[in-house]
Amino acid sequence: MCGIVGCILDKTAAPTILKSIRKLEYRGYDSVGIATVTDTINLKKGIGKIDEVDDEIHLDDIDGKVGIAHVRWATHGNPTEDNAHPHNDCNNKISVVHNGIIENYKQLKDELISEGHMFKSETDTEVIPHLLEKYLDEGKSFLEAMQSTVKRLKGSYSIAAISTEEPDKIVGARNESPLIIGVSDHGNYLASDVPAILNETNQIIYLEDKEIIQLTKDKVEVMDYELNIVPKEITTITWDSEMAEKGGYDHFMIKEIYEEPQVIKDTLSEADKVHEIVKKFKKFDRIYFVACGTSYHASLVGEYLIESQIGIPTEVILASEFEYFQKTLDDHTLVIFLTQSGETADTIKALKIAKQKSETLAIVNVVGSSITREADHVIYTRAGPEISVAATKTYISQLVCIYLLVGYLGENQEILTKLEEVPEYAEELLDSENQIEQIAKKYKDSKDFFYIGRGFNYPTALEGALKLKEITYIHGEGYPAGELKHGPLALIDKNIPVVGILPPGSSYMKTYNNLEEIRARGADMIILGASDDKMIFDIEDKILFDPDIDEILAPLLYIIALQLLAYFISVEKGIDPDKPKNLAKSVTVE
């Protein structure tokens, strides 16, 4: 989580660094700090959002052409100024920013304290500048000190460090936490994610685990832990920084929802590549999906589709639980990993386990991310940059990839043909914005919501409830409709609105009867159904879809309405939907 930026320029670095670190606000954070190097370390940091801290201490008003910055999401230690990054050594000749978790920091800290080092924070990160100081004092170069330091660290980290000893350099390292390098004629950059530096350069080098870097203004060196040079290719990023801007919308989230019809079209353009990957698969008789959060819900749709349309036994496993299933892996199992960022720590760990025995496929949005370099096969979702913390268009694009995969695996031309109509349906749905906004105003003060659906649309209930929780802080639960009578019905009353997902199809009547049970108990209902469904004409709050959208296609479209519902409730409650509390876009720690 958190975010790192650094650069070495031919001009004062702080204004560029501050502009870049703002591009990482979407990752979630509670403090911010910046450090540059001249004949001393110039350090400013504080608690709160960038604008709040900048108004108070003017973050970019420091000299130096070399600098680093960080937005922190607290893991070790509360959000305090002492715990904010960057962290310095005892003599303020070194400054460090770090993402990840140093698992052996307590042992290292005890060792360093016994040697006379004084610590100011509660963080795991602070052992890094003190280790660097120790090795510099032994006569090593800054690069050699970084080499010795990372060999002592256990855990995940992306590190950037500056020093008065060699003020024309940034040294750093990566292991299980993303770090990229940007190359330009005006200097060189590093960051946790591409959007941070895309205004400065689109020439990107992706680092692998256990690699060390040394940057000067005119040179980039990437090395292994023995300081052997590792050749690297430069990737040209094809989307520009404007794609990561709001473009006149009030929030990134609503902008990204409105991009969904185009995202569906763009992801459908990957159909031939998906077909080619399917042709390359080895023979398998079982499928695992592995994912977290929203990607987990997309995977559940995949499970229903594959088992019902193809008949291959399929199971969805949370990435954080995958290690407990590793003994069931074999060379007749296909393991599919879904992750928006390609940097989700739990998913990366699971992929490394699966690769030992099984064929692997990654469905990812970020080109060049860690998982794309590990998996046997990769399908890109083509959603473009998604800045809002709550996933919307990346979820839709993951579903499109899954539908394409099912269509080609099962040689199901009907599904492939139906997919071609989905972008138009999505555009029509967005015309219902005003109606959904009115429903949001009506229910914004509710304390609890239930979402129910059956079969293909049970995962939509889960994802709708998750969106509500993420950005409105209202408690929401998704249930299979048939499970209501097995406990949750006891909670139903007039104070709890129930969102019913009711598309045409084989499960329609059973779901309708469950909704009647709810209506009999006086609960308000918000029904998502077909525009020609006369059974729901007397229900006041409903969101209607073209009647051709059946239960198989519904997961691709009904969720857009639930994304809008959550968005408008969030806005009505005065909450910023782009930056929900306690959450981050890219979860790079386990």
Is the pLDDT reported for residue 399 higher than 60?
yes
User: pTM here?
Assistant: 0.69
182-206 pLDDT, tens digit each: 999 999 999 988 889 998 999 999 9
H or E element: which one contains 170?
A: strand 170-175
Is the pLDDT reported for residue 588 higher than 50?
no
CB 3 within 8 A of CB 587: no
Of all residues in the chain, what percent carry a pLDDT higher than 70?
96
423-447 pLDDT, tens digit each: 999 999 998 889 999 999 999 999 9
Residue corresponding to tokens 């998906």: 274
Q: Which residues are catalytic?
A: 2, 585
Alpha-carbon gap, residue 360 to 355, rounded angstroms: 6
CB 388 within 8 A of CB 252: yes
Residue corresponding to tokens 């080092």: 117
CB 383 within 8 A of CB 263: yes
pLDDT reported for residue 27: 60
Alpha-carbon gap, residue 74 to 546, rounded angstroms: 46
CATH 3.40.50.10490 in the chain is located at 246-420, 431-584
Is the pLDDT reported for residue 299 higher than 50?
yes
Residue corresponding to tokens 């293909």: 456
pLDDT reported for residue 1: 52
Cis omega (within 30 of 0) for bond into 577 = no
CATH 3.60.20.10 in the chain is located at 3-241
Of all residues in the chain, what percent carry a pLDDT higher than 90?
69
Taking the CA atoms of residue 453, residue 459, residue 462 and residue 465 in that order, the dihedral angle to the nearest 10 degrees is -70
pLDDT reported for residue 142: 97
pLDDT reported for residue 202: 92
CB 378 within 8 A of CB 367: no
Could you tell me the CA-to-CA distances from 485 to 150, 355, 489, 491, 541 in Å, in that order? 55, 42, 5, 11, 23
Alpha-carbon gap, residue 236 to 78, rounded angstroms: 39
Q: Quick one: average pLDDT of 497-514?
A: 90
- What is the homologous superfamily of the domain 3-241 according to CATH? Aminohydrolase, N-terminal nucleophile (Ntn) domain (3.60.20.10)
Cα-Cα end-to-end distance for the chain: 10
Stated length of the chain: 590
More confident residue, 496 or 574: 574
Alpha-carbon gap, residue 246 to 254, rounded angstroms: 9
Q: Mean pLDDT for the chain?
A: 90
> Per CATH, the architecture of 431-584 is what?
3-Layer(aba) Sandwich (3.40)
* Phi, psi values for residue 51, rounded to 5°: -60, -40
Q: What is the DSSP letter of 149?
A: H
pLDDT reported for residue 240: 66
- The radius of gyration of the chain from alpha carbons, rounded to an integer in Å, stands at 25
Alpha-carbon gap, residue 520 to 543, rounded angstroms: 21
Query: Which CATH code for domain 246-420?
Result: 3.40.50.10490
Alpha-carbon gap, residue 182 to 93, rounded angstroms: 26
Q: Quick one: average pLDDT of 343-348?
A: 86
pLDDT reported for residue 590: 45
pLDDT reported for residue 154: 92
